[in-house]
Structures are given as structure tokens and as C-alpha cells.
A and B are shown apart, each in its own frame.
Chain A
Amino acid sequence: MGVTSGEQGFVRGDTGIESVGSLAFGPGDVLFVADSKRAKVVAIDVADPSTEAATGPFDLSDVDRALAGYLGCDAADVAIRDLSVHPRTGNVYLSVTRGAGDAGQPVLIRVDRAEGTISDVDLHDVSFSEADLVDAPAADDPRQDFHLGEGEWHEFGDRKIQIARVPVRLSAVTDLAYVDGAVLVAGMSNEEFSSTFRRIPFPFTGEHASTGLEIFHVAHGQWETAAPIRTFLPYQDGTSILASYTCTPLVHFPMTDLQAGGHAKGRTVAELGAGNQPLDIVSFQQDGAEHLLVSHTTHPLMKIACADIDKQDGLTHPQEPRGVPRTLPDLTGVSLMANLDGDHILALQADDSGVRNLRTLKTASL
């Protein structure tokens, strides 16, 4: 493995990535990739060869089959995990799993927007830097003797005993974002039902420098619960976060809570019905005001004016519609989304027959 040291702790070589999930672009050509299997976030220098920013709408029909053609497999063997657009070049990046089980292979796809061609970033020979997700379990049995010899001393009667907290397990990263020199990571444990949220400063230092936060939310002033975050979006220049949970409410909390660490109480700003889960959130400007677009498993796209979130108190009474005012654009089947440029959003949309296309939504007409 040819490894050369680079800037900001980057080395060139084999990333060792075993799974690809959530994506988020950072500074320059850096793309953060969640590797849930190894409980790491990997910063990859994608060295995008395009020199000019592609502009205007972009569409790629039957994207699963197009990727399957490139990857030499059936469309059913292609699983698209996330979608991101390079801010400098406008090229589209997709994290994809090809095949399953032992034959499964993580692939980072690049779609050149100007040429419409598909290629991939070689994960075995690339400049990268990585961060362990704090408290993540070791790949082998993580349970052995965690409690001994590494915790704080506690007095108990006339004796002192040493007790360490059991590490929070993170078995799946559910979403990533990059704000102001830090990567924000939301994840789920395969054991405890927690809402831990991590903030990892970038460049990665190699130390466990992240802070965690538990976010509670209140339903109708009577019930307080915590839950893992499924998807989230920093907005208003990174001062606010809108998060959606496995139990479906949309919850707002200020970024300052996250920097403080510990526990925080989020404000439930919208509730969604049964049998539906939010999938992705993007923000966009319309008539000088910031708006959010939320995609769902069953509901059509939902548009929310950020000003309405700020105006609204936490939900205290059941009401119809529940939460902030919103419009439901007549767009169904949208799952993943990313900002293509100031005027367009790229969306992965399934048609009535289940064929999925990458298509461009014009923000002015949303």
C-alpha cells in the first residue's frame, strides 16, 4: 500500500471502508462518508477532475439500472445509500452497495454532470483521513471487561471501586452534516434506544474529541421521550438544527445546545401520521426566505418556512394540521435529496412503476 503523508492528517492508500452510508461534503474536495460497519467517519479527498461548475438542471432516468450497467449487476443488486452534490463542480456523488453479504461491495459513484458519465472513486487508492466514532464497539466481542481498570473511582462504604460507563453502541450512522469545522453525526444503537448526537472537530486529530448530546422532545406538554435521530439538517447558517426521529416528529433545537454537550430539550414543531417516516431534509431560499423540504416514506414532499418554525411554540395540543403550516407539493415518491445549486434541488424519485430517476426540482416552483 503506497501511503504518503498529506495535509490535515490525510494519507494516501486503501481506506479499508467496509460499508458506505451517509455523505456530506466538507471544505474543498473533502467528502465525509459514514462507514457504519467499522463505526468510522472517513474524510475522502475526491479530487474531482472537473474544473468548471456544472450549472442547470440534471436528470438521470432509471438510475438503478444505469448504475447496475456500470457495476455489472442486476438493478436489484444496487442499493443507493445517499446522495450529495459537490459544491465546487456540481458533480453528483452516490454511496452505493453492490450486491449483499460476502459479495457485497461498497462503491462511491461520481456522476459527471456535464458529460452525464458514471465513474467511481477508488476507495482502495485515495487520499483520506478517518475518525473513530467515540464509544463505538470493537469489531470483536465488545463486552469484555469494559468496566474494569478504565473508569472513575467511587467510594462505596469503606472501599473504593472503579467503575466505567458501558460504551454507547453505535451500530448504524443515520445521518451526517458538516458545519463550521465539525462533522455532526447521528446514529442508532442496536441495543439501547438513545438519541446520542456527536460532534467531531475536523481536521480529525485521531483522538476521541467528540461531544455527545441527548435530545428529548415533548409531546403535547405531557410526554417526554428520547429517540434516535433518523435525519437532520443544520440551517440558518448552522445556528439551528431540524431533526426527525424514528418516532416521526420534527424537532427543532439550537446548535448552541449541541456545543454545550449533555442533555437538551428539543421543540416539537410538527407531527406526522402513523406508518410514515421522514427520509431526508434540504433547505432552500425562496423569495429571500429560507425554507425546508422534507421527504417521507409515504407522505408527499413537505415544505416548511423556517420563519414559521421560529414563530411556533412547542406543540401542546393535538391539532389539524399538526404543527407548523406547510404545503404539500404534488410530488410523491421522493426519497433522497441534495442541493444542486441555488435554484435547483436534485431528488431521487420513484415513479408509479417503481423505477427511480434522478430529477431536478426548481426551487422557484416549489
Chain B
Amino acid sequence: MEVGWGEVDGRPVLVVRATRTGGLPAGGEVPAHVYATDSRRDAAGRAGPSMGGRWSELEGGRALAFVPRFPFLPATSYTVVPVSGDGAPVEIVAPPVGGPASTRVVSIDPSGPVVPRNLLRIYITFSAPMSEGRASRHLRVERDESGEVLEHVLLPLDPELWDPGRRRLTVLLDPARIKRGLAPHRDAGYPLETGRTVRLVVDAALSDAAGRPLQEGAVAVFAVGTDLRGRVRPERWQLEPPRAGARDALVVRFDRPLDRPLTERCVTVAGVTGRGRAALDGRSWSFVPDAPWALGTVVVTVDPILEDIAGNSVARVFDRDLSIPDDDPLEPVRAVPLEVALRPASAP
């Protein structure tokens, strides 16, 4: 029996043909059982069930195709065991995914170079959709000077946190070690150490959605500074008013690095359509209106869920010391408004 790959209705199928020493059974009988080679026998050596699927005739009966109930996976070995005759089992590997690796890491947030010791979250953005479920095997945090891998820094997540397009992965530093007062914090301390430099390493072996590795791995280096504490306070931000009559950007400068994706969701200009963008370093946000600004005032609104890169939000701090009144949470508010008076068109 000769075994090869073919296609039926756009799906990969296994095709078997008669050889001089082994013919095909007639009358719709099953010619062979198909197994994924790895799961043909269990750990104790017992035979498992064969793959579900159906056989159909090709080429006017000169060949038979096995159409599996669940599609063949790329680069996976399958074993075809003839039902009768002297034919030996045939191992055949499904074609791997074609094309060279093309997906790469576009950015890693925060962009550094200094991060607070209580940094909560890192975002890794890719140029194309990725495979889920295997990230933790391909991410690690190392000491920059020695390359020593630091254990229990990142929170193992199952399920993983991806954006809907599977291009951006959210990685949390172990919150149990960041939160003051919890046992893991007391036992093991912060995941990061002030004064040290660490690097986050993304292995090239991380697969994109097509199953291909990355074009190359990526590294982000962070110097670890001091803690970032207290609520995010929009009243401390600097607002740079644009000129009326033009489409200049309205720029808001923050007093600390904020979470970039949350900034883009949470800061907006009430009643004005346009495009808001957070700066790469998370320290400012700029808004370009679709139409020229009208003279008068506009209101920048801030949703109180907005967090800094240590997880402190406008509404509450990440871990609240009940003895510090300044850390008391805000009463639930819908948004914090900031008024900006536009400059007249003739202003310099």
C-alpha cells in the first residue's frame, strides 16, 4: 500500500494506492486504520482508538482517501496500519506550514528604560495574530548582568490574556509578590529589585497563528527604580491648549507613566470626534480632532479606571494602606472632567 497526501474539498486527506504487493480492498471495506503516531499507544503501551473519519474513492476507485473527522495537523506524524494482508504500518508526516517566518515583536510596553519596582503589567505586541496557550514557555525574565533567569516573576496565566485580534499579549508580574501585606510578598519580596537591571526575553520559538516561529526573538531591558504610589491625579496633569480654527493636537502631559492601552481607552475629549494617541513612553496623550477646533473651551474626560503602570487608578490605589487617608478611594464617579480653554487663532 502506497500512502501520500492529497486534498478533498480543500482539506488535506491521506491517499492510499495499491502496489504490486498490496491491493486495495473492494466493496467499500476499510483499507487501513489511521493514528497520530504519538497517540497510537498510551504511556503503558496499550493501543488507543484510531482516528475517526471516512474513506472515499478517488480516481475512479484506483485510490482511496481518508477524510478525518478532525483535520490533520501540520508537521504531525501519522501512522497508517493496513487492515489486512502483510502490509507494514506506514509513517507519514503532514506537510509543515509553508513560507518563511515573518511575524515579529512590534513593541514591548512599558518602553522603559526605568520601570517602578511595583510594575504590574507588560504588553507584548506582535505584527500578526499569534497562537494562544504556549506563551509562558517562551517568556522569561533574566538579570541583565548575569543572564540568571529569575523565577516566579511573571504570573503563569491559563487562559492567557490576549486582545481580540490575538496580536497583543498581556503579562502580569506576580501580583501576590507586589501587594504589601500578603504572605507571598512577605516571604519572597517584590518580583523586581530596585537598582537592578533586568530583561524580558521573548523566544523566537513562540508561534504565530499559522504555527511559524517568530522572525527573531525580542528583548526589553528595564532598569528597576523606586515604587510608584498613590492614585493617578488628573488635576496634576499639564494641558497644552491648541489654537482655535486649526487641527493642532491637544496635548496632555502626565506626571507619571500611565498604562498606554488604558490611556487610549479612558482619555477623550467630550463631544469632539478625532483620534487620541498615547505616547510610547506613556507620559502624554495627544488628540487630533477630525474638524478644526472651535473657539471656546473643551472638556477632556478621564475614566477613573485609568491606571498607571503599577496598577494605581484614578479611583483607587493598587494596594491601599488603610492607615493613609490619601489612599482612600474616590467615590464612584463617571468621569473626571478637565477644562481646556482653546487659544485664539491669532495667538503665537
| A residues at B contact (CB < 8 Å) | 21, 36-37, 61-62, 65-66, 68-77, 79, 81, 97-105, 107, 118, 137-140, 142-143, 145-148, 151-152, 154, 156-157, 159, 161-163, 165-166, 168, 171-174, 188-194, 218-227, 246-249, 271-277, 297, 318, 322, 353, 355
Contact = CB atoms under 8 A, between A and B. Distances in A.
Contacts of B319: 223-225
B184 A273 contact: yes
Interface of B: 34-36, 38-44, 48-53, 68-74, 76, 78, 120-121, 129-134, 151-152, 155-157, 159-165, 168, 170, 172, 174-177, 179-184, 186-188, 207-211, 259, 261-262, 264-266, 268, 270-271, 273, 297, 299, 301, 303, 305, 307, 311, 313, 316, 318-323, 334-335, 337, 339
A182 B282 CA distance: 41
Which residue among B34, B70, B78, B209 has the maximum number of chain A CB atoms within 10 Å of its CB? B70
B49 A118 contact: yes
A73 B210 CA distance: 17
Contacts of A73: 36, 38-39, 70, 73, 76
Contacts of B297: 157
A225 B179 contact: yes
A137 B38 contact: no
Contact of A172 (B160, B187, B303, B337): B160
Interface of A is mostly: loop
A72 B334 contact: no
Interface of B is mostly: loop
Nearest to B208: A101
B211 A147 contact: no
B182 A247 contact: yes
Contacts of A322: 183
A291 to B, nearest CB: 23
Contacts of A147: 268, 270, 301
A74 B38 contact: yes
Nearest to A357: B43
Contact of B320 (A21, A36, A223, A318): A223
8 smallest CB-CB distances across A and B, nearest first, come from A69-B48, A68-B39, A101-B131, A223-B181, A274-B184, A219-B181, A72-B51, A274-B188
A166 B265 contact: yes
Contacts of B313: 192
A148 B271 contact: yes
8 contacts: A70-B52, A100-B207, A152-B334, A163-B301, A191-B265, A224-B320, A247-B176, A271-B182
Contacts of A171: 161-164, 170
Given A69-B36, A74-B36, A101 B44 contact: no
Contacts of A146: 265
Nearest to B259: A191
Given A159-B299, A165-B334, A224-B320, 7 more contacts: A65-B43, A71-B51, A100-B133, A161-B271, A161-B299, A224-B322, A277-B155
A143 B265 contact: yes
Contacts of A276: 184
B339 A222 contact: no
Contacts of B162: 171, 190
B179 A143 contact: no
B188 A225 contact: no
A225 B121 CA distance: 16
Contacts of B273: 145, 148
